[in-house]
Amino acid sequence: MECKIHVVEDCVEAPQCCSVVSLEKIKFCTDQWSLTDEKETKVAAQLKAFFDEDNSQQSISYHRRCYMRFTDKRGIIAAIKRKQNKKDNDSLYSEENSNKSDETSAKRQMRSITLTTPITSRSKNVLPKICIICKKKKHILDFKK
Protein backbone atom coordinates (compact mmCIF):
# COMPACT_ATOMS: atom_id res chain seq x y z
CA MET A 1 0.00 0.00 0.00
CA GLU A 2 1.25 3.42 -0.88
CA CYS A 3 0.06 6.85 0.15
CA LYS A 4 -2.19 8.31 -2.56
CA ILE A 5 -2.11 11.82 -1.10
CA HIS A 6 1.59 11.98 -0.32
CA VAL A 7 2.33 15.68 0.31
CA VAL A 8 4.66 15.43 3.33
CA GLU A 9 8.11 14.40 2.12
CA ASP A 10 9.65 13.03 5.32
CA CYS A 11 6.63 10.95 6.36
CA VAL A 12 7.63 7.35 7.17
CA GLU A 13 4.64 6.12 9.17
CA ALA A 14 2.48 3.22 8.00
CA PRO A 15 -0.36 4.10 5.59
CA GLN A 16 -3.96 3.76 6.77
CA CYS A 17 -6.97 2.49 4.83
CA CYS A 18 -9.58 5.00 3.78
CA SER A 19 -13.02 5.14 5.42
CA VAL A 20 -16.21 6.42 3.80
CA VAL A 21 -16.06 9.73 5.69
CA SER A 22 -12.39 10.33 4.91
CA LEU A 23 -13.01 9.44 1.25
CA GLU A 24 -15.71 12.12 1.01
CA LYS A 25 -13.44 14.65 2.70
CA ILE A 26 -10.59 13.76 0.32
CA LYS A 27 -12.90 14.23 -2.68
CA PHE A 28 -14.06 17.61 -1.37
CA CYS A 29 -10.50 18.78 -0.72
CA THR A 30 -9.42 17.50 -4.14
CA ASP A 31 -11.93 19.87 -5.74
CA GLN A 32 -10.70 22.73 -3.54
CA TRP A 33 -6.99 22.13 -4.20
CA SER A 34 -7.60 22.05 -7.94
CA LEU A 35 -8.41 25.79 -7.69
CA THR A 36 -4.91 26.65 -6.44
CA ASP A 37 -1.34 26.74 -7.75
CA GLU A 38 0.35 24.78 -4.97
CA LYS A 39 2.14 21.43 -4.95
CA GLU A 40 -1.06 19.87 -3.60
CA THR A 41 -2.69 20.73 -6.94
CA LYS A 42 -0.67 17.99 -8.64
CA VAL A 43 -1.77 15.49 -6.01
CA ALA A 44 -5.37 16.63 -6.47
CA ALA A 45 -5.14 16.10 -10.24
CA GLN A 46 -3.73 12.59 -9.71
CA LEU A 47 -6.50 11.78 -7.24
CA LYS A 48 -9.15 13.07 -9.62
CA ALA A 49 -7.82 10.81 -12.35
CA PHE A 50 -7.73 7.91 -9.88
CA PHE A 51 -11.35 8.53 -8.82
CA ASP A 52 -12.45 8.65 -12.47
CA GLU A 53 -10.98 5.24 -13.31
CA ASP A 54 -11.58 3.37 -10.03
CA ASN A 55 -13.91 4.61 -7.31
CA SER A 56 -13.34 1.92 -4.68
CA GLN A 57 -12.38 3.20 -1.25
CA GLN A 58 -10.48 0.03 -0.37
CA SER A 59 -7.65 0.82 -2.76
CA ILE A 60 -6.94 4.26 -1.26
CA SER A 61 -4.49 4.52 1.60
CA TYR A 62 -2.75 7.52 3.13
CA HIS A 63 -0.31 8.63 5.78
CA ARG A 64 -2.01 10.37 8.65
CA ARG A 65 0.21 13.48 8.33
CA CYS A 66 -0.41 13.66 4.57
CA TYR A 67 -4.17 13.39 5.13
CA MET A 68 -4.08 16.12 7.78
CA ARG A 69 -2.14 18.48 5.53
CA PHE A 70 -4.23 17.74 2.44
CA THR A 71 -7.54 18.26 4.25
CA ASP A 72 -6.48 21.32 6.26
CA LYS A 73 -9.16 23.95 5.59
CA ARG A 74 -6.94 26.85 6.64
CA GLY A 75 -4.23 25.72 4.24
CA ILE A 76 -6.71 25.50 1.38
CA ILE A 77 -8.17 28.93 2.12
CA ALA A 78 -4.70 30.48 2.37
CA ALA A 79 -3.66 28.90 -0.94
CA ILE A 80 -6.77 30.22 -2.67
CA LYS A 81 -6.09 33.71 -1.24
CA ARG A 82 -2.46 33.53 -2.40
CA LYS A 83 -3.59 32.67 -5.91
CA GLN A 84 -6.13 35.50 -5.87
CA ASN A 85 -3.53 38.00 -4.57
CA LYS A 86 -1.05 36.85 -7.19
CA LYS A 87 -3.66 37.31 -9.91
CA ASP A 88 -4.54 40.77 -8.58
CA ASN A 89 -0.87 41.78 -8.41
CA ASP A 90 -0.27 40.56 -11.96
CA SER A 91 -3.22 42.56 -13.26
CA LEU A 92 -2.05 45.64 -11.34
CA TYR A 93 1.46 45.23 -12.73
CA SER A 94 0.18 44.97 -16.29
CA GLU A 95 -2.00 48.07 -15.80
CA GLU A 96 0.97 50.02 -14.39
CA ASN A 97 3.12 49.04 -17.35
CA SER A 98 0.47 50.18 -19.83
CA ASN A 99 0.05 53.48 -17.96
CA LYS A 100 3.81 54.00 -17.67
CA SER A 101 4.31 53.84 -21.41
CA ASP A 102 1.80 56.68 -21.84
CA GLU A 103 3.37 58.86 -19.14
CA THR A 104 7.06 58.45 -19.95
CA SER A 105 7.23 61.75 -21.80
CA ALA A 106 5.42 63.78 -19.11
CA LYS A 107 7.60 65.02 -16.26
CA ARG A 108 6.21 64.19 -12.87
CA GLN A 109 5.95 67.06 -10.40
CA MET A 110 6.59 66.44 -6.74
CA ARG A 111 4.28 69.16 -5.38
CA SER A 112 0.83 70.11 -6.40
CA ILE A 113 0.69 73.52 -8.01
CA THR A 114 -2.32 75.65 -7.20
CA LEU A 115 -3.06 79.23 -8.10
CA THR A 116 -3.38 80.32 -4.48
CA THR A 117 0.03 79.01 -3.40
CA PRO A 118 3.07 80.66 -4.97
CA ILE A 119 5.97 78.44 -5.94
CA THR A 120 8.97 79.27 -3.75
CA SER A 121 12.23 77.52 -3.30
CA ARG A 122 13.16 76.16 0.08
CA SER A 123 14.85 78.46 2.54
CA LYS A 124 18.51 77.96 3.21
CA ASN A 125 18.22 77.95 7.00
CA VAL A 126 15.79 75.98 9.04
CA LEU A 127 16.38 77.78 12.33
CA PRO A 128 16.08 81.56 12.71
CA LYS A 129 19.20 83.74 12.92
CA ILE A 130 18.26 84.83 16.44
CA CYS A 131 18.18 82.25 19.21
CA ILE A 132 14.63 81.62 20.34
CA ILE A 133 15.74 80.86 23.92
CA CYS A 134 18.31 83.55 24.81
CA LYS A 135 17.38 86.06 22.03
CA LYS A 136 21.03 86.53 21.03
CA LYS A 137 22.32 86.62 17.53
CA LYS A 138 24.55 83.62 16.96
CA HIS A 139 27.24 83.29 14.35
CA ILE A 140 26.31 80.50 11.99
CA LEU A 141 29.03 78.91 9.92
CA ASP A 142 28.05 77.99 6.42
CA PHE A 143 30.32 75.34 4.93
CA LYS A 144 28.55 75.27 1.58
CA LYS A 145 30.31 77.03 -1.23
**Considering Cα of 16, then 20, then 23, then 25, what sign does the dihedral take?**
negative
Averaged pLDDT, 92-103: 63
Residue 115 has pLDDT above 60, yes or no: no
Residue 35 sits at the vertex; the CA angle it makes with 82 and 70, to the nearest 5 degrees, is 85
Task: Domain of residue 53: give its range.
Answer: 16-91
Specify if 20 maps to a domain.
yes
Specify if 54 maps to a domain.
yes
Residue 139 has pLDDT above 90, yes or no: no
End-to-end CA, the chain: 83
Q: How many domains does the chain have?
A: 1
Residue 145 has pLDDT above 70, yes or no: no
User: Comparing C-alpha atoms, which of 34, 41, 32, 54 is closest to residue 7?
Assistant: 41
Averaged pLDDT, 24-32: 91
Residue 66 has pLDDT above 70, yes or no: yes
Specify if 99 maps to a domain.
no
Of 39-53, 61-75, 103-117, the range with the lowest mean pLDDT is 103-117
Specify if 108 maps to a domain.
no
Give the pLDDT band of residue 29 (cuts 50, 70, 90).
very high
Specify if 39 maps to a domain.
yes
Residue 16 has pLDDT above 90, yes or no: no
Query: Considering the chain, what is the average pLDDT of its residues?
Result: 78
Specify if 139 maps to a domain.
no
pLDDT at 74: 94
HEC-encoded secondary structure of the chain: CCECCCCCCCCCCCCEECCHHHHHHHHHHHHHHCCCCCHHHHHHHHHHHHHHHCCCHHHCEECHHHHHHHCCHHHHHHHHHHHHHHHHHHHHHHHHHHHHHHHCCCCCCCCCCCCCCCCCCCCCCCCCCECCCCCCECCCCCCCC
pLDDT at 2: 83
Residue 84 has pLDDT above 80, yes or no: yes
Averaged pLDDT, 12-17: 86
The answer to whether 35 touches 80, Cβ cutoff 8 Å, is yes
Rounded Cα distance, 29 and 81, in Å = 16
Give the pLDDT band of residue 28 (cuts 50, 70, 90).
very high
